[in-house]
Structure 1
Amino acid sequence: MTPRLHPDFLTIPIAHRALHDVTEGRPENSRAAVCAAIDHGYGIEIDLQLTADGQAVVFHDYDLSRLTDAKGPLRQRTAAEAAGIRLKNGDGETIPRLSEILDLVRGAVPLLIEIKDQDGGMGPDVGPLEQATAQALAGYDGPVAVMSFNPYSVARLADLAPAVPRGLVTEGYDPADWPLPAETCARLRDIPDFDACKAAFVSHDKTDLARPRVQQLRADGVPVLCWTIRSPQEETAAREFADNVTFEGYLARHPS
């Protein structure tokens, strides 16, 4: 049986890459941003990448240069090396391991974990990051869910962590915006793998929420989250089509 999302994922707004604000010394996906989200009572979305020694670390990009003063692929660094790389504008913050973030959150708020595609083309060359994630989550006590753009990743998580709710990150897949073949974009656009990968929810691009396939899933009882909301006005519009929002750049409204 596919596990269902904890109800808190549908009621508590989710801070995109945690509640980051570099003007306050809180880079995205940092410990400080995670603690700020907890203090504000928000859910937390984080991203995972794989290190050279097979560890899951909390970082969005494949390359280090945007978010740190280091250069090159994060995949070529060990977890110990990553722990010594400082995040820009972070008051000494470095790249955390998933296990560190789990210890910080401790079930206080919902935690939504995105597994970044490691295949490079949304294909089947996955496994090590999913394995590291499943190992870190073993025994975690609190509302948690995992998701990925890559359906193979979601299917692998269904095997490795069957009790953890999992979902697909989805969007309109304009080939102009993706380094993927047009036929791959066309296939992913209609979310054909939802049942096969035993997904429980989707998190869909805010600009494409009215897509019939997305709204049919919602009508069938599938929770629809959305990304990335950046204003109260966008939030109001998105909530017509989605059950909850992933937000950044402002403070989303809490349920009354």
Structure 2
Amino acid sequence: MTILPDAFLKAPIAHRALHDLAAGRPENSLSAIRAAIKAGYGVEIDLQLSSDGQAMVFHDYDLGRLTIEDGPIRKRSATELARIPLKGGRDTVRTLPEVLALVAGQVPLLIEIKDQDGAMGGNVGRLEQATADALAGYEGPVAVMSFNPHSMLKMATLAPDVPRGLTTCSYSPEDWPLLPAGTLDRLRGIPDYEHVGASFISHEARDLNRARIADLATRGAAVLCWTIRTPEQEAEARKVARNITFEGYLPPIPS
């Protein structure tokens, strides 16, 4: 287990970077990342896989919500994606190495590897390999996490010195209609924390009072949470969580 650096427990972490469409900063864009760095916030980003095996900084599996085009992101090459504009700004879809070059250790970088199996199973590896390759030699506070425990098991082998965590939640059937009930029941209990060598979780804010969260905290887990959108939500979440992932407002940065 590699411990989460203290930097992740200080400045709040901007969810998908400090995005604001009104200001021309789409989520997971270089513009949003620059804004987070300038403001002194940590940065959270998501990774998806391109057709040529590159780690792309993008949240969705399909291009339609966030770009001017449609279709699965994994059907496009990194070069093709770099030409596709994000809605609401001048940015395009960029690679993890480009983001690492921009952040360059200035603020903590929290990386969520999106499930590539489709059902939280073990059919993963290409995106994890691309992530590990990009992070080799990176200097600065960085950590990886995923809803899929198999992803973190793979990262334990590929990049053992990079802190690992699990993105976790209540796994309500309404929010996860494509996953079988048995899978939801299993993941809800966060049974893989020790097995994957995690040192932190990032848990759904409205579910922070779950007994398993308190249990993990007593065992030394750093508890982060997602996604906080108001000062009132932040105050409530911080009764349990040691830091927040936020969007839609500007939380104070502790001195």
Q: TM-score range by the shorter chain?
A: over 0.9
Question: Within 5 Å, which residues of 2 pair with 1:51-70?
Answer: 51-70=50-69
Match of 1:146 in 2: 144
1:157 equivalenced with 2:155 (yes/no): yes
State the distance in 1 between where 2:182 and 2:174 align: 13
State the distance in 1 between where 2:70 and 2:9 align: 38
TM-score (norm 1): 0.98
Instruction: Give the superposition deviation at 1:166.
Output: 0.6
Give the number of equivalent residue pairs.
254
The range that moved more, 145-154 or 193-202, is: 193-202
- Read off the aligned partner of 1:206 and give its amino acid letter: A
State the distance in 2 between where 1:253 and 1:149 align: 28
State the distance in 1 between where 2:24 and 2:93 align: 14
Match of 1:97 in 2: 95
Q: Secondary structure at the match of 2:143?
A: strand
Task: Give the percent of matched residue pairs that are identical in Structure 1 and Structure 2.
Answer: 61
Instruction: Give the superposition deviation at 1:221.
Output: 1.4
- Structure 2 residue ranges without an equivalent (≥5): none
Query: Can you list the C-alpha shifts for 1:217-254, whole angstroms capped at 9, x where unaligned?
Result: 11221100000000111000000010000000000111
Match of 1:126 in 2: 124
Instruction: Give the superposition deviation at 1:99.
Output: 0.5
State the distance in 2 between where 1:192 and 1:202 align: 12
Match of 1:255 in 2: 254
Q: Secondary structure at the match of 1:204?
A: strand
Instruction: Give the superposition deviation at 1:157.
Output: 0.4
Question: Within 5 Å, which residues of 2 pair with 1:16-55?
Answer: 16-55=15-54
- Read off the aligned partner of 1:153 and give its amino acid letter: S
State the distance in 2 between where 1:82 and 1:27 align: 15
Please list every run of at least 4 consecutive aligned residues from structure 1 whose deviation after the TM superposition is greater than 3 angstroms. Answer: none
State the distance in 2 between where 1:220 and 1:130 align: 27
State the distance in 1 between where 2:153 and 2:198 align: 8
Question: Within 5 Å, which residues of 2 pair with 1:194-233?
Answer: 194-233=193-232
CA RMSD of aligned residues (A): 0.5
State the distance in 2 between where 1:222 and 1:56 align: 27
Query: Can you list the C-alpha shifts for 1:148-188, whole angstroms capped at 9, x where unaligned?
Result: 00000011001000000010000011112102000000000
- Read off the aligned partner of 1:41 and give its amino acid letter: G
Match of 1:242 in 2: 241
State the distance in 1 between where 2:215 and 2:115 align: 26
- Read off the aligned partner of 1:128 and give its amino acid letter: R
Instruction: Give the superposition deviation at 1:64.
Output: 0.2
State the distance in 2 between where 1:82 and 1:59 align: 10
TM-score (norm 2): 0.99
